[in-house]
Structure 1
């Protein structure tokens, strides 16, 4: 029997202390009144979760467009939490870490998983690294973003299982993660699907979907997700995928980022993956108008302008090689610290 969203598991802990509903109210008020920013966000979420409404309003990250507010059923969040627990074999009293902002869906869902499954959740301030973890601390489960993984490789052995989401894991990072003695998964999902609906072990090619999820392609070859326990409507994405079977798919790139250069369709994300180990600064691939090709491939790098060694492009196919390199002193970011490509391009008056 699936737990109701009003239930709080009797094994649930935060930072070592048991909390029932009444105690959670007190924690929420104290966090809002006296806490740091992430603690205030925790308190706001707890009050939203514990009120009499059946829905909760969340904000999308704004990675691919303007951030928007959407309403999600609390019971759907419970279904998502159970699906994650089943996929990763989580049990009551397993220790988990929240190091993501409770303001956004990934952080909220770690809290919901803990309340519903009965996890013992430790909460630390969300930063770009995990330096605040002591060497003796170990966890059964944690959720991080690629930047945290990159900056905290030596800490990841303290987790039995880790999920990484929010941005694609580059080939360079994936090769480093393979040396970590933990089960590490890259996830696929978005706010509209209440975080991930699929995951794959680092180094694997295909994502495996969670329970009660069905997938298909639309006429653009973009992923269409049906998950009745999570969303009443189909979720039509802008992610171009290759579907292997009813349970597995390979992510190719964003439909809205595809570059048609001289009649050849190129996926910026795939080019970026090839370049990730060769460029130390943040960067991305985009397309600029071109009189001959229609659209030419352009490399946009964060930082001061300097000479580029063309050997960094040796791993690219002929049509993938950038025809121009543009430097931007500072990229525009979303609230969740991802690169906002459109806003960054506006700075150089291209879009």
Structure 2
């Protein structure tokens, strides 16, 4: 099947391409990297999203028409049918799914004009209002936590934004952990929030408020969350070994997706996520490899021995902190050294990957092997942050 790679800058171009891809047209490819995609993809493929994923290494995820459709139908079965507002970048899976849900429902989506702001969100929400046979058409949207926080901050003094938040039948929030305090603020503001969990490999969110969507199953294997169901991606283009490792099959042929997340199923069968098994954070909905951040930081004079560790961040969900031994790190002022590191990391990995802080210590904790004791360093940072 032919693959058409498009520029996702205009959501309307993405919508047109998706409409064709879900029908008889060519598959469409776009995403968060500039990787060159193949001209041909396996039959049944509708969308190929390039993403740095949980490893920080670019990969092309192949999503079939069947998987995308199954996800959209399962969402409507869980939260209801209606009209959707796109307030996310269309090149990421959550944005793609807003458009796919709209196409499956046979409704034109609302599209937020320009960059995201509380004012533009409120204006777009007003335009969504409609009725059929005298009955209001329910509206839905999907956000990441930092967008929700900006809206709640604005709603405290802006009636239009407050009304916009209340107008949606449900607001899906995913991409990173949603702090309980933020969810409570949303509830107090009258916003109906649905916390979602999933990834590009599962066509976006497939667990809502801890409960898998219809047809989706979750299991925990050696502490890792694994998912199966009709929403799974077909795999990674051109990477059969990685596909086999990440999508193992049971003897009966059931395919599972190894998420790389640590979690458990509580006594009520609700999924609880504890964080990443690997050394990756999710900051503002963007997966960031701390190994790659550390590699860049260590290339800076004075930070050759630095260690980069994760911390919780009230705005972005997670952030990274540089911890360096005293001496080398003080060749410049700490503020200058941090700014140098942030600039270098942004140039290589993008602004979301920039470390938030530099902490200078007399001596880094080490394991008997001579390697940095990352857990001890992380605990130190957590106590100071």
For normalisation by structure 1, the TM-score amounts to 0.61
Residues 85 and 281 of structure 1, relative CA distance in 2, 3 Å threshold: closer
Equivalent pair of 1:61/1:336 in contact (CA under 8 Å): no
Shift of residue 244 of structure 1?
A: 1.5
Tell me whether 1:140 sits opposite 2:153 in the alignment: no
Equivalent pair of 1:333/1:339 in contact (CA under 8 Å): yes
Equivalent pair of 2:186/2:192 in contact (CA under 8 Å): no
Structure 2 residue aligned with 1:217: 220
Q: 1:242 aligns with which of 243, 264, 286?
A: 264
Tell me whether 1:149 sits opposite 2:148 in the alignment: yes
Deviations 1:179-199 (A, max 9, x none): 221210121000000001102
- Aligned-partner SS, 1:212: coil
Residues 331 and 216 of structure 1, relative CA distance in 2, 3 Å threshold: farther
5+ long unaligned stretches in structure 1: 1-30, 201-206, 260-267, 291-303, 307-324
Shift of residue 119 of structure 1?
A: 3.9
Deviations 1:320-348 (A, max 9, x none): xxxxx96754585699988337x999xxx
Shift of residue 161 of structure 1?
A: 0.8
Structure 2 residue aligned with 1:340: 353
Q: Structure 2: how far apart are the matches of 1:128 and 1:195? A: 21
Tell me whether 1:98 sits opposite 2:86 in the alignment: yes
Tell me whether 1:79 sits opposite 2:70 in the alignment: yes
Equivalent pair of 1:95/1:140 in contact (CA under 8 Å): yes
Residues 176 and 184 of structure 1, relative CA distance in 2, 3 Å threshold: same
Q: Structure 2: how far apart are the matches of 1:335 and 1:126? A: 26
Q: Which has the higher helix share?
A: 2
Structure 1 residue aligned with 2:100: 112
Residues 211 and 330 of structure 1, relative CA distance in 2, 3 Å threshold: farther
Structure 2 residue aligned with 1:178: 187
Residues 198 and 37 of structure 1, relative CA distance in 2, 3 Å threshold: same
Q: 2:319 aligns with which of 270, 284, 300?
A: 284
Residues 249 and 194 of structure 1, relative CA distance in 2, 3 Å threshold: same
Q: Structure 2: how far apart are the matches of 1:181 and 1:243? A: 29
Q: Structure 2: how far apart are the matches of 1:49 and 1:78? A: 8
Deviations 1:56-95 (A, max 9, x none): 23224425312311211111111111111111122xxx22
- Aligned-partner SS, 1:182: coil
5+ long unaligned stretches in structure 2: 1-5, 27-42, 130-137, 156-160, 235-254, 282-308, 326-333, 358-371, 375-385
Q: Structure 1: how far apart are the matches of 2:144 and 2:264? A: 24
Equivalent pair of 1:146/1:169 in contact (CA under 8 Å): yes
- Aligned-partner SS, 2:94: helix
Please tell me the root mean square deviation across aligned C-alpha atoms, in Å. Answer: 4.1
Equivalent pair of 2:19/2:103 in contact (CA under 8 Å): no
Equivalent pair of 1:128/1:151 in contact (CA under 8 Å): no
Q: Structure 1: how far apart are the matches of 2:211 and 2:114? A: 28
Q: Mapping of 1:1-351 within 5 angstroms?
A: 37-50=10-23, 51=25, 54-64=44-54, 65-90=56-81, 94-125=82-113, 127-132=115-120, 133-134=122-123, 136-137=126-127, 138=129, 140-153=139-152, 154=155, 155=161, 156-200=165-209, 207-219=210-222, 221-228=223-230, 230-231=232-233, 233-244=255-266, 247-257=269-279, 272=312, 276=314, 284-285=319-320, 305=335, 328-330=341-343, 332=345, 339-340=352-353
Deviations 1:257-294 (A, max 9, x none): 399xxxxxxxx77x51xx62xxx79962568699xxxx
Q: Structure 2: how far apart are the matches of 1:161 and 1:338? A: 30
Q: Structure 1: how far apart are the matches of 2:350 and 2:149? A: 15
- Aligned-partner SS, 2:12: helix
Out of 231-240 and 48-57, give the one that drifted further: 48-57
